[in-house]
Amino acid sequence: MKKEAILHIPMSEYAYALDEDRVVFRIRTGKDDISSCTLYYGDRACRNNPVDFHSVEMKKVAYSTLFDWYEVEFKSIYNRICYYFQLVDNEGECILFYGDSFEKDRSINRSEYFQLPFNHRADRLQIPSWAKDAVVYNIFPDSFATGKGFISLNETSASYNGYSIKGLRGGTIKGIRENLDYIEALGFNTIYLNPIFVAGEYHKYDTIDYFHIDPVFGSDEEFKVLVDDIHQRGMRIIIDGVFNHSGWHFFAFEDVKQKGRESKYWSWFHHLEDPVVVPDTWEEYPKYECFGYERMMPKLATDDPLVQEYFINVGKYWTEKFDIDGWRLDVASEICDLFWINFRREIKSVKRDCLLIGEVWESAGHWLDGKIFDSTMNYDFRRHLLRYFALENINTEEFNSRVTNMLMRYRKQALLSQLNLLDSHDVSRFLSLCGGNERKMELAVVFLMTFPGMPCVFYGDELGVMGEEEREYRKAMPWESVRGNLFYLYKELISLRNRESALRSGSFRVEGISKEGVYIYSRRTEESVISVIINRTGFTYYRKVGNIILQQGYNEGRLEPYGYVIKKGEI
């Protein structure tokens, strides 16, 4: 038995409660090493000694090139659970695994077993129920629309409290509202806006005033009308919260520049030197902590109680007064946990089902234990699909290993609320990295819309927007573009996802792979199964498929290169 491959972590994504009754247990083993895996569990407060154990068989639910994962989900009659695993390998060796030790026999001492001490309601990951059904359209406000079906492409400017603010392409809040029909007709039910508060630059990540809409975009009143219109359509809206840093014209930073250590806001920022000197050019490194080394974005000391109070009030203001439905939280991984714990508590007290999404580019388990965020931006999803579909520099076995890692690294609730994306305002357009090859892009879009989590589409992807540099991938929405294959594919896939509960809340199971590039998987609930075949090869794949819902390149048992099939039922 490959004991070195065996892994179980109590009170983590390997052992957790879904609700008052249902619990999930997982264990990792060596690839193809185990013939059976059984979980034994009992009441850790049992009056009998030794403890009375019950058994339940675990099933292999995922695999990679190195490991297998076994899992069981069941209703437990106990709130306090002690447990162990019985593993049998292909040679017939049987061992018990508990307390991070391999044993031949049970222990009489119940404290030696793995423990789920108590199924506390407050410790469970409780995510707004609407998240798993969300299909998100991400709008970069400056670049989207000035009015219905058009954007002016005019630079805009205004003065705010003596500071110059600007826009680059003419996008407005009014323009977003006048194009809600377009967004809704595509099937999206959630809109995520990049920053809209008063800020100097066109991107609005250098905030000046957190309590007002930027005048180049519109007014607070226009934003309230937008939110109300979105809600009347049964849709939801998520806005950007930039609390890691402010802009250099934020009132508190202006005060420390003027007064130095005498400023009552001195403690609001990191590593200030008196006097506070802002570099004249971007090439110079500032002598105060910033977002990156961007002189216009001084880093806030979010561990400071007054900073916490101020920005929690910002969050409550927009959530309560404007009834927004969620926050996407910028540079979330660089803000202290205590700030987020307090932010979550206060926002949820105002609106229980307000969704909190952290911008975390790496594995985000630390922030998804139920105490901080409901979701994070899944940039790993983009990275893996880029390697597999666009660049084609990993094979299907390696891709599946990466998919498995995404499936197994979080609790199920968090998996279904991950914000999965191909593009955002921070990265080159996926279609550009496909070399403009729409067939590759289509395969990635199929996977996006059929994978667990919230699919998020950056404005214009449906119209084939391309661009590798910042000014290009944030270019104006091409309203005049002909609606091509990508547009209708997005529309059909979103409609399918909205119809089929298996694609929103079902489990993910790999049904077959070939190293060359055929990937077959299913999404399944107890009532329904949706199966998908993706042929990312230069060869025809032969397989008879019936009950087809959507396909590209399939005809009478032949699936052409870069084709796909989505069907109802088992594959």
| Residues tagged active-site | 330, 359
Residues 336/338/339/343 CA torsion (nearest 10 deg): 140
The full length of the chain comes to: 571
What CA–CA distance (Å, rounded) separates 448 from 398? 18
- Alpha carbon separation from 279 to 254, 268, 282, 297 (Å, rounded): 14, 20, 7, 12
Determine contact, residues 189/234, Cβ cutoff 8 Å: yes
What CA–CA distance (Å, rounded) separates 433 from 462? 16
Which residues in 9-24 are b (16+ Cβ under 10 Å) and which e? Answer: ebeebbbbbbeeeebb
What CA–CA distance (Å, rounded) separates 99 from 170? 61
Find residue 41's DSSP bridge partners: 54, 83
Determine contact, residues 94/88, Cβ cutoff 8 Å: yes
- Amino acid identity at 317: Y
DSSP 388: I
What CA–CA distance (Å, rounded) separates 563 from 560? 5
What CA–CA distance (Å, rounded) separates 522 from 509? 5
DSSP 406: H
> Radius of gyration over alpha carbons of the chain, in Å?
26
Cβ neighbours of residue 372 under 8 Å, at least 6 residues apart?
337, 340, 341, 344, 356, 358, 366
Closest CA to 27 of 64, 61, 65, 66: 61
Question: What tokens were used for 242?
Answer: 């930039």
SS3 315: helix
- Alpha carbon separation from 565 to 64, 70, 350, 457 (Å, rounded): 24, 29, 44, 22
- Alpha carbon separation from 233 to 229, 230, 393 (Å, rounded): 6, 5, 43
The Cα angle at residue 208 between residues 203 and 211, in degrees rounded to 5: 100
What CA–CA distance (Å, rounded) separates 478 from 182? 13
What CA–CA distance (Å, rounded) separates 282 from 295? 7
Question: What tokens were used for 530?
Answer: 């949706």
Question: What tokens were used for 472?
Answer: 């290009």
